Amino acid sequence: MKPHTLYNYFTLIRRMIIYNLRIIFANKFIWFLAGSILFYIGLSVIYVFSNDVSRMEDMYGIFIFSGILLVFYPSVFGIQNDQDARTIEILFGIPNYRYKVWLVRIVLIFVIAFLIMLVFTFLTSVLIVKFRFTNMTMQVMIPVLFLGMMAFMLSTVIRNGNGTAVLMIIFGIFFMILQDSSLQRSQWNVFLNPYDLPNNVNETVWALITFKNRIILVTCSILFLLAALSNLQKREKFM
């Protein structure tokens, strides 16, 4: 590949990333970002003064909710924002639409969420309780990825941000109910806490359950993404 061709390629990628970052950080995303930061700080302070600071499983719950707040708005309202701004008509005119635009955007959403969560876990590891913050971040991002991809897929079906948000809240409540049921320690539990080892379960067995749970969530996330990108090829549904 010639140098000037390579330069043009990287310039195109840089401009695409900058353009999509402007879209992601536009509108109400900043409020969800602020809410995630305030939620993390507020509950962390409460946790320090009211609990045993050696309990990492409690911090896991804080990180999960903070991560969901970060990906909720861009995943749920992204399609509607394109429709409202009339940019979706332009985007559908781009060859390989799903790969050049929304795939880049959805990847950026989760990269940003991962980096912010990495900061949260690092600060907690330094200031509250010592743990492997990179491992904690990866564990947290898997269910966040699952819920974010589910929201993205549903947004391509419903094509309305408010409707998608309501449906995701219903799913969230359903998953939380399962959290308090017999499936709490099951590999099918979306909010399975790998740091909350049950008293009557062997560590090796628990590690296997956690591993299967993560495989299931990652696999479903990939399927949600493929389904969403497939839905975005149906131009007549969005015009």
E-only strand ranges, the chain: none
* Cβ atoms 57, 204 nearer than 8 A: no
How many angstroms from the chain centroid is the CA of residue 51? Answer: 28
* Cβ atoms 130, 116 nearer than 8 A: no
How many angstroms from the chain centroid is the CA of residue 215? Answer: 16
DSSP conformation class of 96: T
Per-residue model confidence as pLDDT tens for the chain (239 residues)? 455 566 666 776 677 677 666 666 666 777 778 888 888 888 778 777 765 555 667 788 889 989 998 898 888 887 776 665 566 666 666 665 556 678 888 888 899 899 999 999 999 888 888 888 999 999 999 999 999 999 999 988 887 878 888 999 888 888 888 776 667 778 888 888 898 888 888 888 999 999 999 999 999 999 999 998 888 877 545 55
Q: pTM of the predicted model, to two decimals?
A: 0.85
3-state helix, strand, coil in the chain (%, to 5): 80, 0, 20
Cα dist from 46 to 37, 184, 211, whole Å: 14, 25, 31
91 C-beta neighbours (distance < 10 Å), count: 15
